[in-house]
Amino acid sequence: MAIGGKTNFKVLLDGFNRLHTAGGSDLMQITGRLLRDFKRTHQRSLKLQKTTADDFNLLDTLKVSGEEVRHSMMLAWLLNREATHAQGNLGFRLFLKLVGLSGEYAETPYRVVREMSGMESRIDVEVATPGEFIVHIENKIHSDEGYSDDGDAQTQREWRDLLRRARELEVRKANVHGFFLTLDRHAPASPEFHPILWWQIADVLDDFSTMSRAKQVSLFAAHYAQALRRMTFELTQVYEDENQKWPQSKTRRKISR
């Protein structure tokens, strides 16, 4: 069921649950009216689905929506100026705008690498230009940070590796950046990593879709953005259903520095 359908159905159930205070005959009449209205709405929704297919989701169809590595691959593809999307540095420029970093980074001959290993850890995505800048992105989908035997959190080890990598590439400290990318706003253990959200990446994908000159690339980016929002929506529903507090973060549409 599409997001809108889920929301309408939840509203219907909430309304139904409030009817327990009604009298017997009133309850039967109101219940019948609710069910008739729902049936008509459902029939209209099915008719609309034939032209919109809102329930279709490529990631769910391929059974990869929860696979962390697949999303890291997509992110690296988006940021890579030499990727098959053929849009040059567009994706990276949009990402830099999101996180509040200099757009000049995108004008350098940067490289994007996945699964970059360090002495203590392995980062999901690295974007760097020797002597200019380095960006590390740790991606989490339905998982938490790992801890070493001595109690060091994953992002703490990754930050030390990031500094080592920066020295290797002769990048000054001011141009060293770490980001912690999640669905659920959990803050990283290391304060040096700045939290960002997948729904923010969905915004980047929407802009990328609009600005892309390749129709197939545009369609893919738009569909992926929709898939990310659906994943985020489903996670918020879990928190609401279990009466949990939605984790707080300092993250905003644009990260202040």
Higher pLDDT, 17 or 224: 224
- Of 94, 86, 104, which is closest to residue 207 (Cα–Cα)? 94
**What are the tens digits of pLDDT across the range 35-52?**
666 667 657 666 655 665
Better pLDDT: 237 or 234? 234
Q: What is the mean pLDDT of residues 234-247?
A: 48
pLDDT given at position 193: 96
- Report which of residues 95 and 235 the model is more confident about: 95
Check whether 138 has a pLDDT greater than 90.
yes
Of 94, 180, 101, 100, whose CA–CA distance to 136 is shortest? 180
> CA–CA distance from 38 to each of 22, 46, 82, 206, 237 (Å)?
20, 12, 50, 33, 21
| pLDDT attached to residue 226 | 85
Tens digit of each residue's pLDDT (9 = 90 or more) over 175-234: 999 999 998 878 899 999 999 999 999 999 999 999 999 999 998 999 889 888 887 765
Share of the chain above pLDDT 70, in %: 64
Task: Give the confidence band of 5 by pLDDT, cuts at 50, 70, 90.
Answer: low
Label each residue of the chain as H, E or C.
Answer: CCHHHHHHHHHHHHHHHHHHHCCHHHHHHHHHHHHHHHHHHHHHHHHHHHHHCCCCCHHHHCCCCCCHHHHHHHHHHHHCCCCCCCCCCHHHHHHHHHHCCCHHHHHCCCEEEEEEECCCCEEEEEEEECCCEEEEEEECCCCCCCECCCCCEHHHHHHHHHHHHHHHCCCCHHHEEEEEEECCCCCCCCCCEEEEEHHHHHHHHHHHHHHCCCHHHHHHHHHHHHHHHHHHHHHHHHHHHCCCCCCCCCCCCCCCC
144: number of Cβ within 10 Å:
11
Q: What is the predicted pLDDT for the residue at 50?
A: 64
pLDDT of residue 141: 85
Query: Which tokens go with 214?
Result: 């390749």
In contact, 83 and 113? CB cutoff 8 Å: no
Average confidence (pLDDT) over 148-174:
93
The share of the chain scoring above pLDDT 90, in percent, equals 51
Is pLDDT at 25 greater than 80 in this prediction? Answer: no
Instruction: Say yes or no to pLDDT of 63 above 80.
Output: no
Exposed, middle or buried, 47 (CB in 10 Å: 0-12/13-18/19+)?
Answer: exposed
* Verdict on whether the full-model pTM lies above 0.85: no
Of the two residues 136 and 147, the one the predictor is more confident about is 136
